[in-house]
Amino acid sequence: MTTEQIAAHINPWEVAQHQFDLAADKLNLDPGLRRVLRQPRRELTVHFPVKMDDGSVQVFTGHRVQHNLGRGPSKGGIRYHQDVTLDEVKALAMWMTWKCAVVGIPFGGGKGGVVVDPKKLSSKELEALTRRFATEIEVLIGPERDIPAPDVNTNAQVMAWMMDTYSMHAGHTVPGVVTGKPISLGGSEGRNEATARGTVFCIVHAARELGLDLSDTTIAIQGFGNAGSIAARLISEEGATVVAVSDSTGGIHNPEGLDIARVVAWKKEHGTVQGFPGATDVSNSAVLEVNCDILIPAALENQITSRNAARIRARVVAEAANGPTTPDADQELYRRGVFMIPDILCNAGGVTVSYFEWVQDLNRDHWSEEVVNEKLREIMTRAFAETLAMAKREECDMRTAAYLLAVQRVADATSIRGLYP
């Protein structure tokens, strides 16, 4: 079986619930509270028509899930991918709840997805699909209720269409309904780089903790979208050597290092990183197993599993993706002393700057990139330090530690609010 086939066989919702159960056990969580937090609050599935360029009408399926609203409006991205399922969106929504709690921003968790390969749509079709999906989920979203953002295969343009659609129906401009917008529409400086920047902050702290000199480390990155490609650039700026990267079409490897600016230009021209001069083409899954000090999975779920965990050679795994490592693989890596920076901490920079964007929108304010990056650095530094302290105190891995912090925070908020009615 290929990594893709293995990944497709593991249900991310079961993984997410299992991770929650481990934390709930360790926290001795009240059984009633456990039952509440173990399920999403709301799940919406919509089937909606889109007029295609050839005049035909196609029906697409999409989901919006709100896992938890205890600490604030639900927050989380919308992805466009042919493999989206309701269970995947539920898992991603639950992970958003913990992510927002780990970094201490006042949101619950949500997520959305449409089953579509957007690379097969024209720009006009993509806009029509986005506007209709935004309309379908309008029963749930809103600046005080549930705030979407970009995720896999969605971007600032898609957010602009969503914001415009919502605003047209409201009869006035509502910038705070989505984040990750273009700067000209109330988007935040630094939001586009935020996920990668947060990941790199975490890596800097992990390297310090492990006594690694970043200018002497090698990096492999699976995924060359918003998180992966920008992490490649930022980590190179820290002096590290990126030796392998991949995108959905495959990967490239050069033990001497890749010039990231040139790889970005190559991908723009050829639509793939493969064929990059001076590098060897390798498979997407082989990128995980190359000789490197730090591995950054920045693509999809279930990439590091019990099948390949023993072959991971990195000392640090920094999860820029959501859910890239299965619980079996987690155990194996921990046993081997691999330092894991878990997704709910490692990629929380994105939603943190989304929070800044929402605050700026509600206040009709605009902060400089320096201010945004400094506030992001403060939040990521504190969250990393709190997670590390918890891992040391509880003698556990960093994922368990992050879950202990997050689940406790959400549980506290839920129980102090009390049960209605």
Provide the 8-state DSSP code for 41. S
The stretch near ligand GLU (CB under 6 A) out of 83-91, 343-351, 387-395, 409-417 is: 343-351
Residue 197, classed as helix, strand or coil, is helix
Is 387 a residue that touches ligand GLU (CB under 6 A)?
no
* Min dist. Cβ of residue 358 to ligand GLU (A): 9
Among residues 75, 205, 253, 315, which is the contact residue for ligand GLU, using CB under 6 A? 75
Is 17 a residue that touches ligand GLU (CB under 6 A)?
no
Listed residue (106, 174, 184, 172) closest to 352, CA to CA: 106
Q: What is the DSSP string of 129-191?
A: HHHHHHHHGGGT-BTTTEE--B-TT--HHHHHHHHHHHHHHHTS--GGG-SS--GGGTPPTTH
* Min dist. Cβ of residue 350 to ligand GLU (A): 4
Among residues 97, 188, 254, 354, which is the contact residue for ligand GLU, using CB under 6 A? 354
Cα separations in angstroms, 387 against 167, 342, 384? 39, 10, 5
Among residues 284, 347, 360, 373, which is the contact residue for ligand GLU, using CB under 6 A? 347
Listed residue (250, 163, 205) closest to 349, CA to CA: 205
Q: Which is nearer to ligand GLU, 161 or 266 (CB)?
A: 161
Residues 6+ apart with CB under 8 A from 305: 3, 6, 7, 10, 325, 326, 328, 329
Residues of this chain, 202-231, that bind ligand GLU according to CB under 6 A: none
287 neighbors 253 (Cβ within 8 angstroms): yes
* Min dist. Cβ of residue 80 to ligand GLU (A): 12
Q: Which is nearer to ligand GLU, 99 or 205 (CB)?
A: 99
Q: Which is nearer to ligand GLU, 77 or 324 (CB)?
A: 77
* Min dist. Cβ of residue 361 to ligand GLU (A): 13
Count the residues of the shown chain that bind ligand GLU, applying the rule CB under 6 A.
Answer: 11
Residues of this chain, 297-326, that bind ligand GLU according to CB under 6 A: 322
Among residues 19, 68, 153, 179, which is the contact residue for ligand GLU, using CB under 6 A? 179
Q: Which is nearer to ligand GLU, 147 or 244 (CB)?
A: 147
Cross-sheet strand order for the sheet of 250-253: 280-282, 250-253, 241-247, 218-222, 294-297, 316-318, 339-341
Q: What is the CA 387 to chain-centroid distance, rounded? A: 18
Known catalytic membership, residue 111: yes
Which residue of the set 111, 124, 268, 375 is catalytic? 111
The Cα–Cα gap between 245 and 313 comes to 15
Binding site for ligand GLU (CB under 6 A): 75-77, 149, 151, 179, 322, 347, 350-351, 354
State the catalytic residues.
111
